[in-house]
Amino acid sequence: MRYSVWEPIYEEIVKDFGFERRKDEEAADLASELLRREGRNVERTKNKIDALLKGKRALICGNAPSLERDIKEKELDVSFHREFVVIAADGATSVLLRNAIRPDLVVTDLDGSIADILYANRRGSIIVVHAHGDNRAMLKTVLPSLHGNVICTTQSRPLCPSGVSGRVYNFGGFTDGDRCVFLAKECGAAGIELMGFDFEDRHVSARKKKKLKWAKRLIGDLLL
């Protein structure tokens, strides 16, 4: 998604939640500097994501309480990697690993189990770390601990410094779940299936309900 298309949506989100755009931009700058300092070849990793997803079916796993049940009902196991590219939204990583499924991609703003995200990364998962105004301290802690297969995203203006390190992408999306969908769409997935999503979950905070409402809107706009 072109940033010129995404920016009005982002501005609406900022207004709705009272976010400070400046803090998101500072987080993106920090992520870029950390990537540069570590010498990360983010363009090569982005190319890996493109090759992984282009023309393939993406199974995007949200972290709703239904995810564990969905895995068992669909009798999913390691063999379904032949059919799908598995993308985990943050905390869904832990549920998948608990069921012996390693996600191909993890999209996270570092709210989930860091130990499980690091473990998945060591096992070969590509990690897409989202930088925003509230997770700058976590960026400093976690980014240097990840292996080579990592890129960063922002919900503000993307950063495109020269060279192979330091780039921070914006594929669109607000929550971990809908960012997974935007990423899959951007990278050419032939089809997208959702599992472990509950946009009407009543057992969450008012703020989380608002986020779920946004996720439902964004995913609906993208897939319909």
If you write DSSP's letter for every residue of 11-70 in order, what string do you get? HHHHHHHT--HHHHHHHHHHHHHHHHHHT--HHHHHHHHHHHHTTSEEEEE--STHHHHH
Residue 47 has pLDDT above 90, yes or no: yes
Tens digits of per-residue pLDDT, 82-97?
679 999 999 999 999 9
Q: How far apart are CA 41 and CA 37, in angstroms?
A: 11
Mean pLDDT of 158-184: 94
pLDDT of residue 80: 61
Average pLDDT, the chain: 94
Is the Cβ–Cβ distance between 108 and 116 less than 8 Å? no
pLDDT of residue 83: 79
